């Protein structure tokens, strides 16, 4: 199983903003810090703002910040929102996609694995992801007050 780039960038953006709770950030700053596309981040930020995770402020002194406390942003919920589908294999998508589908145990096993993955992610919040705050901040070359 692999998460989409969209989910990856969403999580990276949320982590970055959680590391800078007392100041506004820009899409460009986040893109430079991670070495990723600002154009892709624009879409990520738009969806995250619509979902209520990020607050965007327009104008000369505008920018981005978390709209909720990191402890209130559930990672499982973020992934469910950002992933287009959870079909781990072709047989998940439609009936008759595989000749052995009526007797296949693999589909059930993959379904259990996916449920376990999502259960772990449901138990994590953004606060959990930013616990090594100093180390993460140093890696992103951010100054911290801690």
> Which CATH number do you get for residue 53?
1.10.10.10
Alpha helices for the chain (secondary structure H): 5-19, 27-34, 38-51, 75-82, 106-122, 126-129, 133-139
Range of the domain at 70: 5-85+126-139
The model's pTM: 0.88
Going by pLDDT thresholds of 50, 70 and 90, the confidence category of residue 108 is: confident
Q: What is the mean pLDDT of residues 108-117?
A: 92
pLDDT (0 to 100) of residue 94: 67
pLDDT (0 to 100) of residue 59: 83
- The residue among 30, 45, 56 whose CA lies nearest residue 141 is 30
Tally of domains within the chain: 1
Tell me whether residue 47 is in a domain.
yes
Reading the block at residue 95, the tokens are 């009936």
pLDDT (0 to 100) of residue 93: 64
Tell me whether residue 102 is in a domain.
no
Is residue 145 predicted with pLDDT exceeding 60? no
């Amino acid at each position: 199983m692999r998460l989409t780039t969209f989910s990856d960038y969403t999580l990276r953006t949320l982590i970055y903003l959680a590391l800078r709770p007392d100041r506004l950030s820009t899409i460009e700053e986040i893109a430079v810090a991670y070495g990723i596309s600002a154009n892709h981040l624009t879409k990520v930020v738009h969806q995250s703002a619509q979902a209520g995770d990020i607050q965007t402020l327009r104008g000369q002194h505008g920018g981005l910040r978390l709209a909720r406390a990191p402890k209130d942003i559930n990672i499982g919920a973020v992934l469910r929102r950002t992933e287009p589908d959870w079909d781990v294999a072709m047989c998940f998508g439609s009936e008759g996609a595989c000749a052995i589908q009526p007797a296949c145990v693999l589909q059930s096993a993959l379904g259990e694995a996916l449920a376990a993955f999502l259960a772990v992610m449901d138990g994590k919040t953004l606060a959990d992801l930013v616990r090594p705050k100093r180390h993460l901040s140093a890696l992103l070359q951010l100054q911290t007050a801690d």
